Amino acid sequence: MFKNMLKRSWLSIKRKLGRTIILTLIFFMMANLVLAAFIIKSAVSAQMDYAKSTLGGTVSIQADMDKIRENQEAEMKNGGNPGEMFKNMSRPSVDVKTANEIATSYTDYVKDYSYEVTSSANSNNLETVETKGFGGKMAGGMGGMPGMPGFGQDSSDDSTLDADITISGVNAYAYIDGVENETITIKDGTYFDEDSTDSVMVSYEFAELNSLKVGDTLKLKNIYTEKEVPLTIIGIYDSSEERADANTVYVNTETAAKFLSSDEYNSGNYDVDNVNFYMTSSDNAEEFVNKINEEFSELAENNLKVAVDTSEYDSISGSIDSVGSFANTILIIVIIAAVIIITLIVTINVKDRRYEIGVLMSLGASKKNIIGQIIAELLIVGTLGFTLASVTGTVFAGTLGNMILEGQTTSSNKQSEQNFGRPGASMGGMPSQKGNNSRSGAPEFPGDDMPNMKQAMQAGRGEEKIELNINAEPIDYLLLFVTGYLVIILALILPSVSIMHYQPKEILTGKE
Amino acid sequence: MSTKKNILTIENLSYSYQNGEHTQKVLDDVNIKFESGKIYAIVGESGSGKTTFLSLISALDKLQEGDIKFNSKSLKKITGQEFRLKYVNIVFQSYNLIKYMTAAENVEVASDFDNRKVDPNKYLEKVGINPEEGKRLVGKLSGGQQQRVAIARALASNSPIIMADEPTGNLDEDTEEKIIEIFRDLAHKDNKIVIIVTHSRRVAEKADKVLTLRRGKLS
């Protein structure tokens, strides 16, 4: 009986070709949208997970300016001398042992970490580039001019006053502030990493001024010990940042340590700046902060605070999440629309076939058998439409997903520009203060072979569009077919109720 | 060919239509027996209840009063669908064929619901439709041919009772003559109970028994 039912269904599909084509097209269009929605949702989910792991967020240890200000205000209220206070003020800093201990104690949370060893050196007979505007050399302190004492720098330290080169020691080239947003690029030569001891990168202006090239030896003198440290120039960088200090040379941390005082160098425990811990997942960041605050309470006592920065993840997750929400909305609308449209078509079809149904009933067909035939017809046509959509759905999903994403990213960037002056900039139009977590673009960075992450980070800067990695998985096809068949079943409820109320006498004798 | 005597018994059959507050009785305590091997013609004026009677005895409508039994099997004990499937097949004036099927496929449908496999050409040839014509969609056949296909379907259904409602109403005289002969053969050769509701004098003359329905009574 089932075979006969299928046979009648097949005959109806084959002989009523116009209706079959229309139904197939409807199923095809519906299935394309449903499949696209599922694929986009999967891609969004994968991208979010990926973003969580790759842009897991950064936890940095930095000066707690609010606390310092509060302390100052309290001291002033107690009759403190502002001049004396400024003189005695020390820059809160983390020592390298603490930074290392934190990183090695929480390997479940910390994927990588970086810090900066800052020092100064004299260049002997070499000329230095005249600094442009505010904030030239870092030598001698934070953000100070060459020869000016910085925050926490004792102005009586004459040796610093003579320094003309800033030594910036970071774990690897990728961690240099400015590499990610490409304000610093390699003009010649290569980059350094943790193993590139006694290698140095100099600025293009500095190299030009002193006719230096890659492979030359740069002899810099430790300002504390007067000892000369020969460094091999392995790269020449260029900076598009107007306020960049062309007299800054970049080395790895081990090399930078050679320009510290003898005491610091010998103890092996010197102060480091810009300590950043890169999280395995942004979800772990807050928990990690709590653990550091518990375990390393001395940080707070030294006016340091542990801060979370998940802005990169947040910036991309917002856009991607919107695409996911949009895909959900599409899915719901399409399912509702499909149920309504197919219900209408089947209802009209059943009405048209009222006579046929009456004939079948007069021959002894049960109503269930007749409904079964109509279900079988729709399932066959639906399967055809869904299968065709399986071929085109991935392409459609890719176009649709990235179109939505592009719209969303553009919208976010406009919002960002309105809020902060320019895309990707931090508040006030200042360059990103994320410090050394600037990682994409660094060839040696582990994530560099991960295009998604780079796209994500670029999107975070608002410079380039993110692209969803649209790939249909077997589960997407399964969901398409399950949803499609559910839509058919739902769409058949009303027509089936109508069939259940059919009386063969009314159909067959009413026609006479 | 079965020679078993089948009997369709109508007992105290009454049926009324509710027309607003007014109740119109179209069948009033009808009692009759139809035997296999005979062809019956039911005649009567328009509105006399012929079609209602046919609908009831073919289980297209529900009984109100009385009973219908095939041999000892009461229609009250089984569903209308089962009764139609097992005992009765109906031939309509408008043929009631499925348009998207060929003549042969329409005949095959008759056996779709009781899991039998039939050779449609065997039944089509019996009513004068050759296998080539059997492959054509029914819409491509003449009225007479379509009515023959409908009768072939009734034959293929293997039902012991064949009901026909004005089966020659749309046909010319020559075709009517041939169709009547087929019905006679169904009764006399195939041992079916053939009941034809008709206005046609020629059909009535060919029946073994003519019953007149008047004011709800069958005589």
Under 8 Å between Cβ of B91 and B167: yes
Q: What is the DSSP letter of A45?
A: H
Asked if B81 reaches chain A (Cβ–Cβ under 8 Å), the answer is yes
Tens digit of each residue's pLDDT (9 = 90 or more) over A386-433: 999 988 887 887 777 677 666 655 555 554 444 433 333 332 222 333
Give the residue from A7, A15, A354, A359 with the most B CB atoms within 10 Å of its CB, the best one to mutate.
Answer: A359
Asked if residue A93 and residue A42 are part of one domain, the reply reads: no
Asked if residue A136 and residue A106 are part of one domain, the reply reads: yes
Q: Name the residue facing A366 among B81, B115, B166 (closest C-beta).
A: B81
Confidence of residue A13 (pLDDT cuts 50, 70, 90): very high
B residues 171-210 lying closer than 8 A (beta carbon) to A: none
Mean per-residue pLDDT of chain A: 77
Asked if A503 reaches chain B (Cβ–Cβ under 8 Å), the answer is yes
pLDDT of residue A287: 86
When divided into structural domains, chain B yields a total of: 1
Give the residue from A354, A501, A505 with the most B CB atoms within 10 Å of its CB, the best one to mutate.
Answer: A505
Please tell me which residue, A250 or A416, carries the higher pLDDT value: A250
User: Does residue A358 belong to any structural domain of this protein?
Assistant: yes
pLDDT of residue A327: 81
Asked if residue A295 and residue A162 are part of one domain, the reply reads: yes
Instruction: Report d(CA B182, CA B188) in Å as an integer.
Output: 10
Say which residue the tokens 């707690």 belong to: A64
pLDDT of residue B42: 93
Asked if residue A328 and residue A455 are part of one domain, the reply reads: yes
Q: Is B77 exposed, middle or buried (0-12, 13-18, 19+ CB in 10 A)?
A: exposed
Asked if residue A494 and residue A349 are part of one domain, the reply reads: yes
pLDDT of residue B67: 92
In Å, how far is A493's CA from the nearest CA of chain B?
22
A311-352 and A451-461 helices, crossing angle to 10°: 100
Asked if A8 reaches chain B (Cβ–Cβ under 8 Å), the answer is yes
The contacts of residue B194 (CB under 8 Å, 6+ apart) are B38, B39, B40, B162, B164, B183, B184, B186, B187
Asked if residue A268 and residue A299 are part of one domain, the reply reads: yes
Contact B84 A509 (CB under 8 A): no
- The secondary structure element, H or E, covering residue A295 is helix A285-295
**Of A274, A308, A342, which one is at a domain's C-terminal end?**
A308
Asked if B98 reaches chain A (Cβ–Cβ under 8 Å), the answer is yes
Under 8 Å between Cβ of A313 and A282: yes
A17-54 and A451-461 helices, crossing angle to 10°: 80
CATH number for the domain including B140? 3.40.50.300
User: Does residue B81 belong to any structural domain of this protein?
Assistant: yes
- Quick check: A143 pLDDT over 50? no
How many CB pairs (< 8 A) connect A and B? 79
User: Does residue B39 belong to any structural domain of this protein?
Assistant: yes
User: Does residue A350 belong to any structural domain of this protein?
Assistant: yes
Confidence of residue A461 (pLDDT cuts 50, 70, 90): very low
Q: Name the residue facing A511 among B82, B94, B98 (closest C-beta).
A: B94
Asked if B64 reaches chain A (Cβ–Cβ under 8 Å), the answer is no
The contacts of residue A358 (CB under 8 Å, 6+ apart) are A502, A504, A507, A508, A511, B96
Asked if residue A181 and residue A81 are part of one domain, the reply reads: yes
Chain A neighbors of B58, CB-CB under 8 A: 362
User: Does residue A382 belong to any structural domain of this protein?
Assistant: yes
Chain B neighbors of A511, CB-CB under 8 A: 92, 94
Domain that holds residue A186: 58-308
Single-letter amino acid, residue A417: E
Asked if residue A161 and residue A291 are part of one domain, the reply reads: yes
Contact A8 B96 (CB under 8 A): no
In Å, how far is A39's CA from the nearest CA of chain B?
40
Asked if B99 reaches chain A (Cβ–Cβ under 8 Å), the answer is yes
User: Does residue A253 belong to any structural domain of this protein?
Assistant: yes
Which ipTM was obtained for this model? 0.88
- The secondary structure element, H or E, covering residue A313 is helix A311-352
**Strand runs (DSSP E) across chain B, as ranges?**
7-19, 22-35, 38-43, 65-70, 73-74, 88-92, 161-165, 193-197, 209-214, 217-218
User: Does residue B32 belong to any structural domain of this protein?
Assistant: yes
Nearest CA in chain A to B93: A512
Distances (CA, A) of A429 to A241, A245, A260, A416: 13, 19, 34, 11
Give the residue from B88, B112, B136, B153 with the most A CB atoms within 10 Å of its CB, the best one to mutate.
Answer: B112
Q: Is A152 exposed, middle or buried (0-12, 13-18, 19+ CB in 10 A)?
A: middle
Instruction: Report d(CA A160, CA A147) in Å as an integer.
Output: 7
Asked if residue A264 and residue A129 are part of one domain, the reply reads: yes
User: Does residue A466 belong to any structural domain of this protein?
Assistant: yes
Say which residue the tokens 């440290």 belong to: A229
User: Does residue B2 belong to any structural domain of this protein?
Assistant: no
Asked if A10 reaches chain B (Cβ–Cβ under 8 Å), the answer is no
User: Does residue A218 belong to any structural domain of this protein?
Assistant: yes
User: Does residue B63 belong to any structural domain of this protein?
Assistant: yes
When divided into structural domains, chain A yields a total of: 2
**Of A252, A284, A308, which one is at a domain's C-terminal end?**
A308
Six-digit token string for B76: 């009250």
Highest mean pLDDT among A76-80, A283-287, B72-76: B72-76
Single-letter amino acid, residue A4: N
- The 3-state secondary structure of B2-42 reads CCCCCEEEEEEEEEEEEECCEEEEEEEEEEEEEECCEEEEE
Q: Name the residue facing B60 among A15, A356, A362 (closest C-beta).
A: A362
Mean pLDDT of A200-226: 91
Nearest CA in chain A to B163: A362
**CA neighbor of A26 nearest in space, from A487, A507, A412:** A487
Contact B109 A8 (CB under 8 A): yes
Asked if residue A320 and residue A286 are part of one domain, the reply reads: no
A residues 343-382 lying closer than 8 A (beta carbon) to B: 355-356, 358-367, 369
Under 8 Å between Cβ of A460 and A320: no
Chain B neighbors of A6, CB-CB under 8 A: none
Please tell me which residue, A53 or A116, carries the higher pLDDT value: A116
Asked if residue A115 and residue A160 are part of one domain, the reply reads: yes
Contact A512 B93 (CB under 8 A): yes
Mind listing the pLDDT tens digit of every residue in chain B (219 residues)? 446 788 899 999 999 988 888 888 889 899 999 999 999 999 988 888 888 899 899 888 888 999 999 988 888 888 888 898 889 988 888 888 999 999 999 999 888 888 788 899 988 988 889 999 999 999 999 888 998 898 889 888 888 999 998 888 877 788 788 888 888 988 998 899 999 998 888 889 999 999 999 888 888
Contact A363 B84 (CB under 8 A): yes
**Of A308, A324, A359, which one is at a domain's C-terminal end?**
A308
User: Does residue A439 belong to any structural domain of this protein?
Assistant: no
Domain that holds residue B21: 7-218
Q: Is A492 helix (H, G, I), strand (E, B) or coil?
A: coil
Asked if residue A304 and residue A258 are part of one domain, the reply reads: yes
